[in-house]
Amino acid sequence: MSTTASSFKQAEHKLLSVPGPVEVTDEVLFANAHPSMSHVSPAFAPVFGDCLRYLRKVLYTEKGQPFIIAGSGTLGWDLVAANLLEAGQKALVLNTGYFGDAFADCLETYGAKVDQLGAPVGGRPSLEEVEAALKKDKYAVLTFTHVDTSTGVLSDAKGIAETVRRVSPDTLIVLDGVCAVASEEIRMDDWEIDVVVSASQKGISVPPGVSITALSQKALKVLDSRKTPIPAYFANYKRWLPIMESYEKGTPAYFATPSVNLIYALEASLKSIVDGPVSLEDRFKMHKEAAKKFREEFMRQAGKLGFKTVATSPEGAANGMTAVYVPEGVAPPALVGALAERGIVIAGGLHKDIKTKYIRFGHMGVSVVERPSDADKILAALKDALQAVKSA
Ligand SMILES: Cc1ncc(COP(=O)(O)O)c(C=O)c1O
């Protein structure tokens, strides 16, 4: 007898509470277990088309062009670097952690001249600093990380976009939303964001393996008016654009094979995000409330021991994750290990300056919307793990 969607249950496992990949629902995993399909079958094309339509809704855009390509979030950086900049053009990277460094490195790999505007660890550049930098030089592209997964710092996406539009209207605004799409509100049209870079495995709550990006009409015009050839073969939007347009019309087309099964999983997850019982607006509200509650509870338990969030201001702290410094005398690997022994998987440090001093928790997607009790499990295990680590 074959398993059905309603009878399928994923195996018992430790609760995955890292800031991505995140927990996925049984429905999404079951959709991923679709029998193997041809990527050019007429039955598959509308599934792909649905994903594109749902993504527009998630990003609040009507005219933005989503691209769904096999790969991870990093592929989005290559796409930006190879397609929206030409060698020698300037980019301004607003840096709030590891992922700013890495995006800058990727842009330079393709020949862009990069300036970075950073802040002390846990902070973010002010809008005044962004304005001053834009007045000093002319940038083809400005990038910022909406949530830097290494620090849990949240950028003021709307404020940055307003500043760029006012001071340097021709500059393309690129939002790295790998750790933000579907857990933080992103209004691509209203805020005039030109590019959103994302991936399947975080707020969207699908297994890793899909690069998701979206381009505004303005970004598409920049792509169209390039003077030099795109220095990439796979990461080439001109090759992918007709494929996306064709799938959206329900007609299969081929450039390179999509991750067919993950597209089924993506459709299932996006459908529940867009058309499920929780509205998009409520979804973002739930993430805000869950983050606030998680941090309050966490600090109630551990604050007096000397734990401290890495993000230095409440408005600059992400809603889908939290990074916290551990106090002297607590070794992050010991705490990560003690939590794993209690069924909770969290992450250690990533930012080069503080790597050995902090830990990271994810609280996004399924663990907020479908199973808010996950946070209670994490906090209960934490209490126990802290006792164990302190008395060791
Ligand atoms: C903010 C941010 N940008 C980019 C990436 C790179 O994405 P991937 O690891 O899927 O290539 C990540 C990964 O965690 C991320 O958190």
Rounded distance from Cα 5 to ligand 1 centre (Å): 30
Average pLDDT on 65-77 reads 98
| Alpha-carbon dihedral sign for residues 320, 207, 242, 235 | positive
For residues 272 and 369, what is the distance between their CA atoms, to the nearest angstrom? 10
For residues 305 and 299, what is the distance between their CA atoms, to the nearest angstrom? 9
pLDDT band at 329 (very low <50, low <70, confident <90, very high): confident
pLDDT of residue 392 exceeding 80: no
pLDDT of residue 76 exceeding 80: yes
The string of pLDDT tens digits covering residues 28-51 is 999 999 999 999 999 999 999 999
> What is the reported pLDDT for 387?
87
> What is the reported pLDDT for 1?
65
Tell me: is residue 295 an annotated ligand-binding position. no
Mutate to test the pocket of ligand 1, among 99, 154, 174 (most ligand atoms within 8 A of CB): 99
Mutate to test the pocket of ligand 1, among 93, 96, 124, 178 (most ligand atoms within 8 A of CB): 178
The string of pLDDT tens digits covering residues 207-253 is 999 999 999 999 999 999 999 999 999 999 999 999 999 999 999 99
Mutate to test the pocket of ligand 1, among 16, 68, 74, 107 (most ligand atoms within 8 A of CB): 74
Rounded distance from Cα 152 to ligand 1 centre (Å): 13
pLDDT of residue 85 exceeding 90: yes
Ligand 1: nearest atom to the Cα of 180: 1
For residues 228 and 222, what is the distance between their CA atoms, to the nearest angstrom? 12
Pick the CATH number of 280-391 from 3.90.550.10, 3.40.630.10, 3.90.1150.10, 1.10.10.10: 3.90.1150.10
Rounded distance from Cα 377 to ligand 1 centre (Å): 26
Residues lining ligand 1, Cβ inside 6 A: 20, 72-74, 99, 145, 148-149, 176, 178-179, 199
For residues 392 and 386, what is the distance between their CA atoms, to the nearest angstrom? 10
Specify the amino acid at residue 295. R
CATH 3.40.640.10 domain range(s) in the chain: 26-275
Backbone angles phi, psi at 373, to 5 degrees: -70, -10
Of all protein residues, the one whose alpha carbon is nearest to atom 12 of ligand 1 is 178
Please identify which residue in the block is written with the tokens 């996950």: 374
Ligand 1: nearest atom to the Cα of 147: 1
Rounded distance from Cα 9 to ligand 1 centre (Å): 29
The string of pLDDT tens digits covering residues 93-114 is 999 999 999 999 999 999 999 9
pLDDT of residue 367 exceeding 80: yes
Class of the CATH-defined domain 26-275: alpha beta
Q: Compute the residue count for the chain.
A: 392
> What is the reported pLDDT for 261?
98
What does DSSP assign to residue 205? -
| Alpha-carbon dihedral sign for residues 291, 296, 300, 302 | positive
Q: Give the HSE-up count for residue 169: Cα atoms under 13 Å, Cβ half-sphere.
A: 1
Average pLDDT on 17-24 reads 97
| Contact predicate 173/195, CB 8 Å | yes
* Helix residue ranges per DSSP H, the chain: 26-32, 45-58, 73-83, 98-109, 127-136, 157-167, 217-224, 237-248, 260-275, 280-302, 332-341, 366-369, 373-391
Ligand 1: nearest atom to the Cα of 148: 1
Rounded distance from Cα 74 to ligand 1 centre (Å): 6
Rounded distance from Cα 23 to ligand 1 centre (Å): 17
The string of pLDDT tens digits covering residues 247-294 is 999 999 999 999 999 999 999 999 999 999 999 999 999 999 999 999
pLDDT band at 303 (very low <50, low <70, confident <90, very high): confident
CATH 3.90.1150.10 domain range(s) in the chain: 280-391
The string of pLDDT tens digits covering residues 139-188 is 999 999 999 999 999 999 999 999 999 999 999 999 999 999 999 999 99
| Contact predicate 177/186, CB 8 Å | yes
Rounded distance from Cα 77 to ligand 1 centre (Å): 10
